[in-house]
Amino acid sequence: MTGKTERADRVSVTRERILTAAERLFAEHGVFAVSNRQVSEAAGQGNNAAVGYHFGTKTHLVRAIIRKHAEPVERIRERMLADMGDSADVRDWAACLVRPVTEHLAALGSPTWHARFIAQVVTDPSLRALVAEETRSSPSLRRTLEGFHQCLPELPAEVRAERGDMARQLITHMCAERERALAEGTPTPRASWHDAATGLIDALVGLWLAPVTRDS
Amino acid sequence: MTGKTERADRVSVTRERILTAAERLFAEHGVFAVSNRQVSEAAGQGNNAAVGYHFGTKTHLVRAIIRKHAEPVERIRERMLADMGDSADVRDWAACLVRPVTEHLAALGSPTWHARFIAQVVTDPSLRALVAEETRSSPSLRRTLEGFHQCLPELPAEVRAERGDMARQLITHMCAERERALAEGTPTPRASWHDAATGLIDALVGLWLAPVTRDS
């Protein structure tokens, strides 16, 4: 192994440690309550400026955490899309929205911090655009939303957009609620991420298929 | 008017100015990105410590904003409950969850900041307990959740709790999304808060009535 490769490996380990420490602190105390200095310390870096050196500003750090998880979620959804037959129905497309997220959380083992982190990011006025960027650039997510269009051609376009937003909000915030309950040891309505996904899919199918009332 | 009453009125005007300035700044920039000093300045207070003098810490200020809005929402829901007949169905109860919030936002006129403020508070690890306290102490909300129980006696208790959480998350975050779109001048799927509520009620009825899949 050359000296250059060794150094690259060491940098990669340090960056990974920082990302993990940041995500945990952000989930538990809030993205803005935690300083880059605290993150550097929690990541075991002697140099308190390690976050700045490796990532730049807090916004850059937040984007790096988002990307770290977006990639495996995208891969799971691509796999589900590849297995999807021509007769896919609303339930199949709802599963394609939900299961990549919950499978990824389950694969991370316990505890996880990502769901609480993302819920804060999408709600914060200065950070939410970062998630919107990642979402817009996801081919698998675009394909999934087109799937609902194919199944529900009679749904007015603005109601389809509205229910797409609702689905996104539900998945994000219900995963964060479950993750928090697991971390705090409070009861959860479902025994596993798989079962929690089933509950979300049931609800999303009902939501997408609900009749549309026309206001006068 | 006695000097004492005049002073009480002046204090009340100052407190109200601080609450309004804080809510706007929190909605637009984030609850933690804004300092008490910035709130005091935006409220036109010569004394930069005005927030501390009138409210104490930021947590106390946040609680005061929550309470200011919880009272009118509670009154609207009490009125709806009083008008509710014995034959109330799932749609009536869904309306009883949603319309008090959207009617209050509509009554505030444009622009509003409260929906974005609350969405941040319920998502923040250190502040969310404040909203949970208010929610638990609301008799009208408890009565409404019992209403769903009466309409859907066959729904397993844990699924009822889960769908109650989903309803809460949807109302909070969809109102915040609409408020943000209105503030930014981006398109919204509905023309008014009343119509946005109708879209939410349609979705919630579908969600509450969705069949429950049993995982193996």
Q: Within this chain, do residues A117 and A196 fall inside the same structural domain, yes or no? A: yes
> How close, in Å, is residue A117 to chain B by CA atoms?
9
> How close, in Å, is residue A190 to chain B by CA atoms?
8
Which helix (H) or strand (E) segment holds residue B57: the answer is: none
- Band (pLDDT 50/70/90 cuts) for residue A70 is very high
Please give the structure tokens belonging to residue B96: 């009883």
Distance CA B21, CA B18 (A): 5
**pLDDT (0 to 100) of residue A134:** 86
Does B155 fall in a domain? yes
Domain boundary among A13, A33, A56: A56
Q: How crowded is residue B88: how many other Cβ atoms within 10 Å of its Cβ? A: 17
């929610």: which residue's tokens?
Answer: B135
Question: What is the residue-averaged pLDDT of chain B?
Answer: 95
Instruction: Give the residue from A202, A209, A214 with the most B CB atoms within 10 Å of its CB, the best one to mutate.
Output: A202
Question: What is the residue-averaged pLDDT of chain A?
Answer: 95
């140099």: which residue's tokens?
Answer: A47
**pLDDT (0 to 100) of residue B216:** 59
- Band (pLDDT 50/70/90 cuts) for residue A5 is confident
- Residue A2 pLDDT > 70: no
Q: Within this chain, do residues A132 and A188 fall inside the same structural domain, yes or no? A: yes
Q: Within this chain, do residues B83 and B143 fall inside the same structural domain, yes or no? A: yes
Q: Within this chain, do residues A74 and A175 fall inside the same structural domain, yes or no? A: yes
Does B164 fall in a domain? yes
- Residues B30, A124: contact at Cβ < 8 Å? yes
**pLDDT (0 to 100) of residue B184:** 95
B199 touches chain A (CB under 8 A): yes
**Among candidates A176, A203, A209 on the partner chain, residue whose Cβ is nearest the Cβ of B166:** A203
Q: Name the percent of chain B lying above pLDDT 70.
A: 99
Distance CA A120, CA A98 (A): 19
> How close, in Å, is residue B179 to chain A by CA atoms?
12
- Band (pLDDT 50/70/90 cuts) for residue B134 is confident
**Among candidates B125, B170, B201 on the partner chain, residue whose Cβ is nearest the Cβ of A28:** B125
> How close, in Å, is residue A188 to chain B by CA atoms?
8
Centroid of chain to Cα A30: 16
Please give the structure tokens belonging to residue B11: 């204090």
- Residue A115 pLDDT > 70: yes
- A152-171: pLDDT as tens digits: 999 999 999 999 999 999 99
Q: Within this chain, do residues B98 and B195 fall inside the same structural domain, yes or no? A: yes
**pLDDT (0 to 100) of residue A216:** 59
Q: Within this chain, do residues B71 and B106 fall inside the same structural domain, yes or no? A: yes
- Residues B30, B113: contact at Cβ < 8 Å? no
- Residue A215 pLDDT > 80: no
A162 touches chain B (CB under 8 A): yes
- What counts of helices (H) and strands (E) characterise chain A? 10, 0
- B23-75: pLDDT as tens digits: 999 999 999 999 999 999 999 998 989 999 999 999 999 999 999 999 999 99
Q: Within this chain, do residues A73 and A24 fall inside the same structural domain, yes or no? A: no
**What CATH number is given to the structural domain containing B5?**
1.10.10
Q: Do residue B158 and residue A30 have CB atoms under 8 angstroms apart?
A: no
Does A179 fall in a domain? yes
Q: Name the percent of chain A lying above pLDDT 90.
A: 89
**What CATH number is given to the structural domain containing A172?**
1.10.357.10
């050196």: which residue's tokens?
Answer: A53
Does B51 fall in a domain? yes
- DSSP class of A215: P
Does A11 fall in a domain? yes
Residue A187: is the preceding peptide bond cis (ω within 30°)?
Answer: no
Coil, helix or strand at residue B10: helix
Q: Do residue A190 and residue B28 have CB atoms under 8 angstroms apart?
A: no
What does the pLDDT average to over B174-188?
96
The answer for B 165-194 residues in CB contact with A (under 8 A) is 165-166, 169-170, 173-174, 176-177, 180, 189-190, 194
B164 touches chain A (CB under 8 A): no
Domain boundary among B36, B56, B76: B56
Q: Within this chain, do residues A94 and A172 fall inside the same structural domain, yes or no? A: yes
Q: Within this chain, do residues B91 and B152 fall inside the same structural domain, yes or no? A: yes
- A32-43: pLDDT as tens digits: 999 999 999 999
Question: How many beta-carbon pairs under 8 angstroms link A with B?
Answer: 117
Instruction: Give the residue from B57, B90, B113, B166 with the most A CB atoms within 10 Å of its CB, the best one to mutate.
Output: B166
A216: chain B residues, CB-CB within 8 Å: none
Distance CA A189, CA A201 (A): 14
Q: Within this chain, do residues B93 and B184 fall inside the same structural domain, yes or no? A: yes
Does A75 fall in a domain? yes
Q: Positive or negative, the Cα torsion across A102, A106, A108, A113?
A: positive
- B138-179: pLDDT as tens digits: 999 999 999 999 999 999 999 999 999 999 999 999 999 999
**Among candidates B30, B165, B199 on the partner chain, residue whose Cβ is nearest the Cβ of A159:** B199
Write the ipTM. Answer: 0.94
Domain boundary among A9, A37, A56: A56
In total, how many domains does chain A have?
2
Q: Do residue A206 and residue B207 have CB atoms under 8 angstroms apart?
A: yes
Q: Within this chain, do residues B50 and B70 fall inside the same structural domain, yes or no? A: no
Longest dimension (CA), chain B: 73
What does the pLDDT average to over A68-88?
95
Residue A110 corresponds to which amino acid?
S
A16 touches chain B (CB under 8 A): no
- Residue B215 pLDDT > 80: no
Does B215 fall in a domain? no
Q: Residue A105 is part of which domain span?
A: 67-209
Q: Within this chain, do residues B17 and B104 fall inside the same structural domain, yes or no? A: no
Does B216 fall in a domain? no
Q: Helices B3-29 and B114-123 meet at what angle, rounded to 10? A: 70
- Residue A130 pLDDT > 60: yes
- B69-95: pLDDT as tens digits: 999 999 999 999 999 988 999 999 999
The candidate with the shortest Cα–Cα distance to B21, out of B2, B5, B36, is B36
